[in-house]
Every structure is written in C-alpha cells, then in structure tokens.
A and B are shown apart, each in its own frame.
Chain A
Amino acid sequence: MVAVVRRMRKLRALLAIRLGPGAAVLPPEVTRIHMDFAADIHDGHYGPRKFWRNCLPRLKYHNPAVPMTVNRTTNQTGPALMTVHFTSSVAAATIKPDISSTTTKQTSTGPVPESKAGPPTERTEVINMKHRQDSEILEQLLKLTRAKVVRATAEEQREIQEMEEQNARSERDAAMMAEVNATKKREAEILEQARGEVEAMQD
C-alpha cells in the first residue's frame, strides 16, 4: 500500500477540486449537462477535453446531484457541443431526480442503467465548444446558467498558500538533489574510467 504520508500529500490536492476554475454552484433549474466531442484533440477538440478534465470535476463536486455526461465520438471533424438542460423553477423545486440504481432489489440483473431523467426538461441551451479554450467555455457556461462562483474562505486561502510554499520548497529541494546526484554520478564515471585504464595497463 502506498505510504501514508504520500497518500495524505495527494489528498491535500482535494483542495484543488473544491476551488479553482469551475468551482461554482449551479441554480436548481439546471438539471443536466451533456458534452459531445471527439476523442482526439485535433481540429478544435482540445478545449472541450481540457474543460472536461479541469473544470467539470469541480462543477460536479459542487453540484453532486446534477448528472454530467461526456460522450466522445470518433468523428474528428464533427461538432463539439455542450448541451445544458433547464427545467422550470416550479418543477425544480418539486420534482427530485431519479435514483440511479435500485436499493430495494437485492441483485440487479444487468449493469446499472444510464442516467435517467429527473424533472422534465423545459428548454436546452447549446454551447459550441469547438476551437475554444476551456476558460472560454467555462465563462460561457457560467454566463448562461448564472451560476454562483465559489470563492475560497480565509482558512482555505491560507491552506492554498501553505501548499504553494510546500510545492516551491519541494521544487527547490528536487533541484538541489538533482545537482548532488549528478555530481555523484560524474565522480563514479571518472572512477570507472580510471579503473578501466588501470586494467588496460595491466593487460
């Protein structure tokens, strides 16, 4: 098992999933976000992928109940679209989203079904993501949904700073150690070479 210190260090990165680009609370009218883009990055599909990797986890963390799905196609020249589903504010308040897997049945017969619909979708908005940076996509999404961006509290601010310091320190240490290791290696090489010469002389 991975050593506990290393694991804990990694877990501090959880801060990064709580805060940063994409950390925003969507209004209850947003019922679903779906992204459609190609599997490869060519022809303007770079931004959507970056958005999925960088921003979507944060969005999901702050809106755990909103289904967010990604569909990656093999059609590289096809469109890259984000579909946001909205419902009316009345429906959002009354109808709750469906539960994904059955809790009453002891053994389900098949794999868990794909996401089901919650409250009925009233309208959908489409964002074109092709040839866009992930920051641009996020900006558009936030504007469209009027989501509330989550800001760091004083405590979290302090933790972020601490982590930055730690990272800077570790970088410095790594550079120092790299130098030491290089010197060691160089010396070993010189020794090795000298030894080879001695042996050659003996032969």
Chain B
Amino acid sequence: MASSRPMLAQLSRLCLSPRISGARFEGARFLSATAACASKGKIISKKEKAGTASKGQNPQKNKKKDDSGRKKKKARTTYKSYDMKDAEMFSLCDAMRYIRAFEVGRPPTSVKYEMAIKLKSQKNGPVLRNRLRLPHPVRTDIRICVICPADSKYAEQARAAGASLVGEEEIFEAVKDGRIEFDRCICQTDSLDKMNKAGLGRILGPRGLMPSTKLGTVVKDPAAVLKDMVGGAEYRERMGVVRMAIGQLGFTPEEMQRNIRTFIEAVKKDMAHLNDRINKELSEVVLSSTNAPGFPLNGDFISADSQITTRDLSTS
C-alpha cells in the first residue's frame, strides 16, 4: 500500500508529542503493517485528520483535502509592486517616438495616449477618485444638451458655455423621434417636472443620458456644471492603478508634459488628502496608447543622448 507511509509518518509525529502515552505509540507502530488496524488511528482529531494526507476510499475527497491544506497560505493585503530598478524606463520623448511609430497611419483623432499610475496601496480601504481638468482636454467634441426654457437666462448662459442643444419642448420632440444628438444631458431644476411628464426616461434611461439629481445632472445653474463637463475627465483607482486618457496622438511633447504633470499632481494631492493611517505611494508611471505597449516613464522629458528634437514629434 503506497499510502501507508505518509500516514505512518503523520502518526509517529503525533505520537512523539507528550500527550500521547507509550501504549498508543505501540499501537501506531503496529498500524504500519496492517490496514485493519487503521481504525485505531482514530486518536487523531477530526481537524488534524483533514489536514493530513490520510487516504480514504474516495479519491475525490482526498483531492479536496489536499487543496485545503495548500490554501492556508496567507493572502496578501497589498497589491504587488515591483522593483523598477532593473526595468527599462523611458523618457517622455522616447516613449512618444515609439508610440507614434506604433500608431502610424491611424486616424490621429481617434487614437489616444493613455496613462496608468500604479500605486503602492492596500487592497482594502479607500480608493482615489476625482475629477480634473487637463490643460489640454482629450475629448473636446462632447455635445451637451441643456433642458431649460429656451428664452430664460439659463439658456443664454448655457449657450455661452458651449451647450450644443438648449430648449424644452423641441428637445422632447426630437428625442421621441429618435434624434438624440448629444452625449450628455443636463436639466435645470425648474424644468424637471416638465421633463418627467414628457416620459423621456424610457428612451434616455438605457443610454444613461437621463438627468437625475443623484448623478448631479439636475442643477440650478447649468452653465457652471457645463464648464466642468466640457474639458473635465474622471479618474479612479482600480486594483491599485489609476488610469486615464491623457492626450490625443497629435499632441506635442510639451502639451503631453503639461497634461501628465497636472494629472500626477492631482493624484498626489488626492493621496495627501487621504486619512493619516492610509499611506499610498506612487510606484510606477506607464504611458501607453490605443495600440502600443506600455512604456514605464523615468520622469525625464527628453533623454540626454536623444537624436531627435521635440519638433520632430510635433508633426502629425
């Protein structure tokens, strides 16, 4: 019997503990020869037995027990972070040169630079989450609809702030006809009743466009919210990484530098605002794009031995 050996080892280990008397020790030695005596092995408590490699009749059961023994390894409480000392790091211009080569021939407006900031952080606890305005917004072509009476002062302000559609009835009509020509929708507080009566929820709701107080899209002064919305971008930490689109492919290195700096400063500020006990640190900053691999940045703008100028990277 192949299984007798580990069982014996287990038993003898047990028997060496002071609680078990010599008489039982004999019994255990005896056990090695015959399987019939295995019933005597009941000295082992149930819990211990589960942990041991005792082989029963059902192989499937044994399998499970083995697994549970392995699982005892302590789960880690922080996200893995790597030592970047030996890793290859790039200056911003080098990374951009590679990325632009990877993205050659793609439409420059649809391809985006992306940034991932890896943090040293606990798996539980609060996460970073905020909005910010980049100096050079990535998406500038968002069409925003404001629902308020077309001749009110709010309408004027909203138009000045860059709303593409302003009105009440005509918008309701258009939406019901299936002409949804906007990506965001804001409602002025006084127009809320009218909008609810119009029954837009069934059309706008599934698209996530329906204004609601919870989302902060039903407001007193649409113009103020609009300003944030036009150039604003949201970021949040997921699995210890903050990701955000940071630029269009046509951006120059200087523009990218300004955007990246703003983003990292915002993240740092958020980390400083967290509770004292929670300590987060920047561990890695990676620049990537829609089709390119990720390039860890070393913080330099242009490497010392670079053969290219920033001007070379500024053409589209």
Q: Which residues of A contact B (CB under 8 A)?
A: 1-4, 7-8, 10-11, 13-14, 17, 35, 52, 56-61, 64-70, 96-101, 103, 106-116, 118, 191, 195
CB distance from B229 to the nearest CB of A (A): 13
Q: Other than the known A60-B104, A111-B109, what 20 A-B pairs have Cβ atoms closer than 8 Å? A: A1-B284, A8-B88, A11-B295, A64-B312, A64-B315, A67-B316, A68-B104, A68-B105, A70-B106, A96-B311, A99-B252, A100-B108, A108-B136, A110-B141, A111-B141, A112-B108, A112-B109, A113-B250, A114-B108, A191-B59
CB distance from A35 to the nearest CB of B (A): 7
The reply to whether the CB of B116 lies closer than 8 angstroms to some CB of chain A is: yes
Asked whether B316 lies within 8 Å of A100 as measured between CB atoms, the reply is yes
Asked whether A107 lies within 8 Å of B140 as measured between CB atoms, the reply is yes
- Distance between Cα atoms of A66 and B311 in the complex (Å): 11
Question: Which residues of B in the span 85-144 have a Cβ within 8 Å of any Cβ on A?
Answer: 87-88, 97-98, 100-102, 104-106, 108-109, 116, 118, 135-137, 140-141
Asked whether B316 lies within 8 Å of A112 as measured between CB atoms, the reply is yes
Asked whether B255 lies within 8 Å of A103 as measured between CB atoms, the reply is yes
Chain B hits for A101, CB < 8 A: 136, 248, 250-252, 255, 314
A1, A52, A58, A99: the one within 8 Å of B241 (CB): A1
* Dominant secondary structure of chain A at its interface with chain B: loop
Asked whether B231 lies within 8 Å of A111 as measured between CB atoms, the reply is no
Question: Which residues of B in the span 1-58 have a Cβ within 8 Å of any Cβ on A?
Answer: none
Task: Find the A residue at minimum CB distance from B295.
Answer: A11
The reply to whether the CB of B82 lies closer than 8 angstroms to some CB of chain A is: yes
Question: Which residues of B in the span 60-101 have a Cβ within 8 Å of any Cβ on A?
Answer: 60, 80, 82, 84, 87-88, 97-98, 100-101
The reply to whether the CB of B239 lies closer than 8 angstroms to some CB of chain A is: yes
A17, A35, A100: the one within 8 Å of B98 (CB): A17
Asked whether A112 lies within 8 Å of B315 as measured between CB atoms, the reply is no
Shortest 6 CB-CB contacts between residues of A and residues of B: A70-B105, A112-B250, A61-B101, A100-B316, A65-B312, A4-B82
- Distance between Cα atoms of A112 and B109 in the complex (Å): 6
Asked whether B316 lies within 8 Å of A7 as measured between CB atoms, the reply is no
The reply to whether the CB of B209 lies closer than 8 angstroms to some CB of chain A is: no
CB distance from B163 to the nearest CB of A (A): 14
Chain A hits for B101, CB < 8 A: 17, 57-58, 60-61, 64
- Distance between Cα atoms of A7 and B293 in the complex (Å): 8
Chain B hits for A107, CB < 8 A: 136-137, 140, 231
Chain B hits for A68, CB < 8 A: 104-105
B98, B100, B251, B293: the one within 8 Å of A112 (CB): B251
Asked whether A11 lies within 8 Å of B241 as measured between CB atoms, the reply is no
Task: Find the A residue at minimum CB distance from B82.
Answer: A4
Given contacts A57-B101, A97-B315, A111-B141, contact A4 B84 (CB under 8 A): yes
Q: Which residues of B contact A (CB under 8 A)?
A: 59-60, 80, 82, 84, 87-88, 97-98, 100-102, 104-106, 108-109, 116, 118, 135-137, 140-141, 231, 239-241, 248-252, 254-255, 284, 286, 293-296, 308, 311-316
Q: How many residue pairs at the A-B interface have CB separations less than 8 Å?
A: 125
Chain A hits for B308, CB < 8 A: 64-65
- Distance between Cα atoms of A64 and B101 in the complex (Å): 8
Asked whether A11 lies within 8 Å of B88 as measured between CB atoms, the reply is yes
| 7 sample A-B contacts, Cβ–Cβ < 8 Å, listed by A number | A3-B82, A8-B87, A13-B293, A101-B252, A110-B140, A111-B248, A195-B59
Chain A hits for B231, CB < 8 A: 107
CB distance from B112 to the nearest CB of A (A): 11
- Distance between Cα atoms of A180 and B276 in the complex (Å): 51
Chain A hits for B252, CB < 8 A: 99-101, 103
CB distance from A96 to the nearest CB of B (A): 7
Chain A hits for B315, CB < 8 A: 64-67, 97-100, 115, 118
Asked whether B248 lies within 8 Å of A4 as measured between CB atoms, the reply is no
A99, A113, A114: the one within 8 Å of B311 (CB): A99
CB distance from B111 to the nearest CB of A (A): 10
- Distance between Cα atoms of A103 and B314 in the complex (Å): 10
Task: Find the A residue at minimum CB distance from B97.
Answer: A64
Given contacts A11-B293, A103-B254, contact A57 B312 (CB under 8 A): no
Chain A hits for B240, CB < 8 A: 1
- Distance between Cα atoms of A195 and B284 in the complex (Å): 51
Chain B hits for A7, CB < 8 A: 286, 293-294, 296
B116, B250, B311: the one within 8 Å of A1 (CB): B116
- Distance between Cα atoms of A51 and B308 in the complex (Å): 25
Chain B hits for A114, CB < 8 A: 108, 316
CB distance from B109 to the nearest CB of A (A): 4
Task: Find the B residue at minimum CB distance from A7.
Answer: B294
Chain B hits for A106, CB < 8 A: 135-136
Task: Find the B residue at minimum CB distance from A2.
Answer: B294
